[in-house]
Amino acid sequence: MKVVTVTLNPALDLTVRSDHLQIGQVNQGQDMQLNPAGKGVNVASILADWGLRVTVTGLLGEENSETFERLFAKKGIADHFIRIPGSTRLGLKIVDEARQETTDINLKGIQVAPPQVESLRKKVLTLAETHDLFVLAGSLPPGAPEDLYFTLIRDLKALGKKVVLDTSGRPLELGLKARPTAVKPNLHELSQLTQKTLSTPEDALDAVKSLQGLEWLVVSMGEQGALFFHEGEAVHAIPPRVVVKSTVGAGDAMVAGLVAALHEGLEVQEAARLATAFSAGSIQQIGANLPEANVLQELQSHVQVVTLASGRV
Ligand SMILES: Nc1ncnc2c1ncn2[C@@H]1O[C@H](COP(=O)(O)OP(=O)(O)OP(=O)(O)O)[C@@H](O)[C@H]1O
Ligand SMILES: [Mg+2]
């Protein structure tokens, strides 16, 4: 199975470690890292570590594309990003390791024009001639139509492709109407979608009843783990205890784990175990990477998978 991840609004993540951070004060930093990111890029980076052949596309600013190109070359990722004028946005992450907190500042991204969006649509359809599964992940850049994911999913599904969607707000709401194979909202995104305040697994279990016609649905809930729904079965995967370095990209690692599970044709219990281990492995480090195979296996064996009675969707 050949996988494409689509990132319309990538980012260069600047992660600065600053323990006991105080807003409005002069703070000491302990460390910094610059990582190419954006949800689809993160998913691709993790899948490449897993050993899958993966292609990336989307819209990338031509003025600061080298950091991305280095990552793609290093991990053997096929680069089909369309270059557009301008610089890819910076995402600032301030990690307070002492308090185990991460603060994010996300910028909007490059304003895109209709011909660029059209080139991207064509590129995705061309890639569909040689690939089987598409991951559409992250926000849309300013200027892109809100229903872009809807259109892409509709066209890809019509070609018999599998599509995994991970986004938020209107693009998620509209994208769902095209029935992607899988979606992975977090609690906040599911709250927005269902217009309910959700904070526990029980709340989420109740809220998903309004979502129909998906092969796979995963609701991630941070340290409370994630709910996985597939073919009338539902499980709650509780993550193993790990020392958290940065929770940035935890959800992207889970999406990558879900794609790996689809690739392996796993049942819901094993899919939940694998995807949760991917997330646990990724939050122990900065940047979107998987730990060594033996560490990943160890993590998998420590995921607790609880079967839920009311398994549907
Ligand atoms: N603090 C944590 N401790 C243990 N596991 C965690 C923690 N945070 C996240 N995870 C794991 O990662 C998974 C996905 O996390 P989360 O729900 O935060 O995703 P997200 O909000 O989509 O993240 P993002 O979009 O920033 O990548 C969780 O289901 C859980 O397994
Ligand atoms: Mg997310």
CATH class, range 3-307: alpha beta
Q: Which atom of ligand 1 is found nearest the CA of 225?
A: 29
Check pocket membership of 167 for ligand 1, CB cut-off 6 A.
Answer: no
Which pLDDT does position 279 carry in this prediction?
98
Cβ–Cβ < 8 Å for 131, 2: yes
Closest residue by Cα to atom 4, ligand 1, is 223
Closest residue by Cα to atom 18, ligand 1, is 222
Which pLDDT does position 312 carry in this prediction?
55
Please write the tens of the pLDDT for every residue from 225-238.
999 999 999 999 99
Adjacent-strand bridge partners of 93: 15, 104
Which one of the ligands is nearest to 243 CA? Answer: 1
Which pLDDT does position 308 carry in this prediction?
92
Check pocket membership of 172 for ligand 1, CB cut-off 6 A.
Answer: no
pTM listed for this prediction: 0.94
Going from N- to C-terminal start, the domains of the chain cover: 3-307
By most ligand atoms within 8 Å of CB, the mutation choice from 247, 284, 286, 296 for ligand 1 is: 247
The CA–CA distances, whole Å, from 21 to 18, 29, 32, 92 equal 6, 9, 14, 14
Which pLDDT does position 245 carry in this prediction?
84
Check pocket membership of 223 for ligand 1, CB cut-off 6 A.
Answer: yes
Adjacent-strand bridge partners of 217: 183, 229
Q: Which atom of ligand 1 is found nearest the CA of 252?
A: 27
Which one of the ligands is nearest to 226 CA? Answer: 1
Closest residue by Cα to atom 25, ligand 1, is 251
Q: How many CB atoms lie within 10 A of CB 22?
A: 9
Closest residue by Cα to atom 19, ligand 1, is 251
Which pLDDT does position 213 carry in this prediction?
83
Q: Which atom of ligand 1 is found nearest the CA of 187?
A: 17
Would strands 162-166 and 133-137 be described as parallel, antiparallel, or unpaired? parallel
Check pocket membership of 82 for ligand 1, CB cut-off 6 A.
Answer: no
Complete edge-to-edge strand list for the sheet that includes strand 133-137: 78-84, 54-61, 3-7, 133-137, 162-166, 182-183, 216-220, 226-230, 233-238, 304-307
Closest residue by Cα to atom 1, ligand 1, is 223
Among 171, 177, 121, 129, residue whose Cα is nearest residue 149: 171
In the reported structure, the alpha carbon of residue 247 is separated from the centroid of ligand 1 by a whole-number distance in angstroms of 6
Which pLDDT does position 100 carry in this prediction?
84
| CA angle in degrees (0–180, nearest 5) for 164-245-3 | 20
Which pLDDT does position 22 carry in this prediction?
96
- 252 labelled catalytic: yes
Q: How many CB atoms lie within 10 A of CB 15?
A: 22
Which pLDDT does position 212 carry in this prediction?
80
Check pocket membership of 244 for ligand 1, CB cut-off 6 A.
Answer: yes
Catalytic residue, chosen from 13, 49, 166, 252, is 252
Point out the residues of the chain with pLDDT beneath 50: none
